[in-house]
Amino acid sequence: MAALVLSALILVIFNFARDPTVIRAQDLAPSALWVTITFAATTALNRAFAVELDHGALDGLLLAPVGREAIYLGKLLGNLVFTGIVQLITIPLFVLFFNLDLHGTLPAILLLAFLATVGFTAVGTVFSALTVRVQFAELMLPVLLLPFMVPPLIGAAQVTSKLLAGRPLADSAGWLQILATYDIVFLTLSVLVFPAVLDE
Amino acid sequence: MLTVLALLALAAHYVRAIEYTPIEATQGLAQKIFYVHVPAAWSAFLAYGIVGVCSALFLWLGDRRLDLFAEASAEVGTVLTLIVLTTGPLWGKPIWGTWWQWEVRLTSTLFLFFLMVGYLTLRRSIFDPLVRARYSAVVGILGAMLVPFIHLSVYMFRTIHPKPVILNPEGPTLPGSMLSTLLEGVAIMTVAYLGLVMLRYGIGRLQEEKEARHAAAS
Amino acid sequence: MPSPLLHATGIRRAFGPRVVLRGLDLALAPGETLAIVGPNGAGKSTLLRILAGLIKPSAGEVTLDGVKLTPAEPGSRRTVGLLSHRSLLYDDLTVFENLVFAARLMGVADPKAAAKFALAEVDLSARADDSPRTLSRGLLQRAALARALIHKPRLLLLDEPFTGLDAVASERLQRLLRERRPAGLGTVVVTHQVAEVWDFADRVVALVGGTWALEESPGTPLDAFMRRYREVVPA
């Protein structure tokens, strides 16, 4: 809930932070959208493993006859669902606030949102397990994770602005390939290194 | 020992760079910064690559020395990255007219700096040496893997940095004496980097031994 | 002599340069209750976590019911239940939901029925729909016990279970453990309060400085044991 309010607020602020005569809504929109989504995702990730620390619930998960990878995938799915829901609500708000004409690109934007999120959420899930046992966790997680959000953010913003300008999705094939590769690489790596975070 | 030699060689190299290489036609004296900037950049990326490799090896083999080596490499790498980030603008202002440009290599280096600082900050906030080693290795691997993606993304975004002069598809475009000076610079800087890392690694080993004796006594 | 339910040999555990467990052997028969006592920091909890399959020993192996217990082999954990001094419950779920979750996690066939049964066994059915936040410490431990036994484990591990319990709650928990445990369940309880487990255990061993220091069987008076115990435990 807090994440939704945060997203809405950020979109509003972006709108007021520009000079409407100089910057078109359409030009600012992609950056605004993706920065917002980034912040919302970080709030989800901050809490992801914190709940396991209260009352030692993580031990409960570790005692279960399931592999460590299953715990990771479970958390990852949870995070993706949470971020997905935030995006599903934020994107229409974004269209509303910025008075955009989507030209029927909504499915493409949703696909893009998914592609962009999977990669850094995979890494973020690993980092949230890691920082939860570290001092200053709320600060450490963004510090570590923000660099990882940059390639997907650049890609997503670029593709969004092309889409909003009416260009077909095929024009952005290069970026989409990068996003997909990024997702595959980091999902695989994250699954591989996650057990190292849980070991004692 | 090696480090002292390397540092002396570095000093000699700069004398050569400043006095004996020709002044570049369009850029003038400022171009000489190139001889510091490029070798430092190369070594900085090498440093982080080594952090990534040592991290992966550590998770696989469990040898604590790999972790200490990664730490040493990250610290030296951070210094090198700072050198790149300060010499870049010093060169950029006279040549481009601005202190900063969001172009590929400078931006990649900036992110390299963030990644290294993140790595070192994480290390400083964990007191248990085993947990510290494991967690930094995780961050090290993921971070090292990120660098090519940052580079690629920013490259596709825009390019305004002077085209690469050595790794140029058309072949090196530097006249002989400048090229050799540069290559010499790269070689010496790499050796200096290694020397500093070995030094820092040695300190790390001593610290670890001290902690071990302390733990055994308590 | 029935084959041991739990068999551990050569258990060694070091954390970097610090050696906490120095090559321990342990055997537990079905239905037997073993108490491990020792001063704080002796390594009791570490040993218990190794027996639970939560961490790997640096050397040695643990076998449960003939199956080697390793963190990499998830299935082997199915027969272990852990009651810690922390409840392992989520505050945002009700007690009942917590148990259903645990049952699902451990692969129990009918999670809801198992949860109901477990709650009844610990006399907690009345609080099934409350959040763990609202339970007193004593009730919380009973809920945690229900969670530990929900999948009908063969081995129950107790890590300082009486911590923070007042005399009444402590006695209640002891009674539950004595009377409501399934037959054949092996129990290992770790504590630094010897008196609490004296009547409850079949065998008591003391872990001091990473090795076994004392062993005692039923029937010995507590004060005789305590005298010997104070001799071996550093002040």
- B130 vs C: CB within 8 A: yes
Task: Give the number of beta-carbon pairs within 8 Å between B and C.
Answer: 13
Tokens of C38: 């020792």
Task: Give the number of beta-carbon pairs within 8 Å between A and C.
Answer: 59
Chain C: nearest CA to B131, how far in angstroms?
10
Q: Which residues of A touch C107 (CB under 8 A)?
A: 64-65
Question: What tens digit of pLDDT does each residue of A61-76 get?
Answer: 888 888 788 888 888 8
Q: Which residues of C touch B212 (CB under 8 A)?
A: 16-17
* Interchain CB distance below 8 Å, B125 and A158: no
Chain C: nearest CA to B73, how far in angstroms?
22
According to the 3-state scheme, what is the secondary structure of B22-45? CCECCCEHHHHHHHHHHHHHHHHH
Listed residue (B182, B158, B184) closest to B172, CA to CA: B182
| Dist CA A82 CA A11 (whole Å) | 19
Q: Which residues of C touch A61 (CB under 8 A)?
A: 105
Chain C: nearest CA to A200, how far in angstroms?
6
* Interchain CB distance below 8 Å, C17 and B211: yes
* Interchain CB distance below 8 Å, A151 and B149: yes
- C20: nearest CA in chain B? B216
HSE-CB for A154 with a 13 A CA cutoff: 22
Chain A: nearest CA to B143, how far in angstroms?
8
* Interchain CB distance below 8 Å, B130 and C17: no
- C14: nearest CA in chain A? A200
Question: What tens digit of pLDDT does each residue of B6-27 get?
Answer: 666 666 666 666 555 555 545 5
- A51: nearest CA in chain C? C90
| Chains within contact range of chain C (3+ C-beta pairs < 8 Å) | A, B
* Interchain CB distance below 8 Å, A64 and C77: yes
- C77 vs A: CB within 8 A: yes
Q: Please give the pLDDT value at position B109.
A: 87
More confident residue, B31 or A191: A191
| Dist CA A26 CA A95 (whole Å) | 10
Tokens of A32: 């605004």
- What are the distances in angstroms from CA C28 to CA C61, C110, C143? 14, 30, 26
| Dist CA B215 CA C88 (whole Å) | 31
Question: What tens digit of pLDDT does each residue of A87-123 get?
Answer: 888 888 887 777 776 667 778 888 888 888 888 889 9
Instruction: Give the list of residues 6+ apart from residue A40 with CB closer than 8 angstroms, or none.
Output: A3, A4, A6, A7, A83, A86, A87, A90
- Average pLDDT value for residue range A140-153: 87
Confidence grade of residue A134 (pLDDT, cut at 50, 70, 90): confident
Substitution target in C47, C76, C88, C147 with the highest count of A β-carbons within 10 Å is C88
Query: Closest partner residue to A51 among C78, C84, C90, by Cβ?
Result: C90
Confidence grade of residue A185 (pLDDT, cut at 50, 70, 90): very high
Q: Which residues of A touch B138 (CB under 8 A)?
A: 126, 130, 193, 196-197
Q: Which residues of B touch C15 (CB under 8 A)?
A: 128, 130
* Interchain CB distance below 8 Å, B152 and A151: yes
Distance of CA C124 to the CA centre of its chain: 20
| Dist CA B60 CA B140 (whole Å) | 14
pTM of the model: 0.80
Q: Which residues of C touch A68 (CB under 8 A)?
A: 71
Question: What tens digit of pLDDT does each residue of B96-143 get?
Answer: 667 776 767 788 888 899 999 999 999 988 888 888 899 999 999 999
Query: Closest partner residue to C54 among A51, A57, A59, by Cβ?
Result: A59
Confidence grade of residue B170 (pLDDT, cut at 50, 70, 90): very low
Query: Closest partner residue to C54 among A63, A66, A67, by Cβ?
Result: A63
Instruction: Dihedral sign for Cα A65, A71, A72, A77, please.
Output: positive
Query: Closest partner residue to B115 among A127, A147, A178, by Cβ?
Result: A147
Confidence grade of residue B160 (pLDDT, cut at 50, 70, 90): very low
Q: Please give the pLDDT value at position C37.
A: 87
- Average pLDDT value for residue range C32-38: 88
- A61: nearest CA in chain C? C105
- C79 vs A: CB within 8 A: no
Q: Tell the residue number behind the tokens 């952005």, with chain if given.
A: A172
Chain C: nearest CA to A85, how far in angstroms?
20
Confidence grade of residue B217 (pLDDT, cut at 50, 70, 90): low
Contact A120, A148 (CB under 8 A): yes
- What are the distances in angstroms from CA C102 to CA A60, A64, A72? 8, 8, 17
Question: Residue C229: helix, strand or coil by DSSP?
Answer: helix
* Interchain CB distance below 8 Å, B154 and A186: no
HSE-CB for A138 with a 13 A CA cutoff: 3
ipTM surpasses 0.90: no
Q: Which residues of C touch A60 (CB under 8 A)?
A: 88-89, 102, 105, 147
Query: Closest partner residue to A182 among B137, B141, B149, by Cβ?
Result: B149
Q: Which residues of A touch C43 (CB under 8 A)?
A: none
Helix (H) / strand (E) element for A21: namely none
- Percent of chain B scored above 90 by pLDDT? 17
Q: Which residues of C touch A199 (CB under 8 A)?
A: 55-56, 71
Confidence grade of residue B171 (pLDDT, cut at 50, 70, 90): very low
Distance of CA C120 to the CA centre of its chain: 21
